[in-house]
Amino acid sequence: MKIKDFLTKENWTQGANARDKNGNTVYVFSEHACQFCLLGAIMKLYPPSERDEVDYVLRCAINLKSDYTSISHFNDNSDFNEVKCILDTLDI
């Protein structure tokens, strides 16, 4: 599954890699995790052997589009529509 298909406005979060239904920060692989930021979604969806490539492509696109210095910075300072747009553009 691609991140663009996984993340929705309802299950996307900011300020933590993952959250439970009460908004508490949890480990990405917790059975209670139900909301994810971009990094959390990468960790959840891609095996370790593929994460670096996805991370690199996303960081390059973010750096070209804006002054954000990291995926977390972009995620935490953007609205969901901006996040969704970059995921759709990259088809990841």
Closest Cα partner for 20 from 5, 31, 8?
31
Residue 55 sits in which domain range?
3-90
From 23-32, 42-51, 56-65, the region with the lowest mean pLDDT? 56-65
Instruction: Give 74-84 pLDDT, tens digit per residue.
Output: 999 999 999 99
Instruction: Give 6-41 pLDDT, tens digit per residue.
Output: 999 999 999 999 999 999 999 999 999 999 999 999
Question: Which residues on adjacent β-strands are paired with residue 21?
Answer: none
pTM (2 decimals)?
A: 0.93
Q: One-letter amino acid identity for 54?
A: V
Report how many domains make up the chain.
1
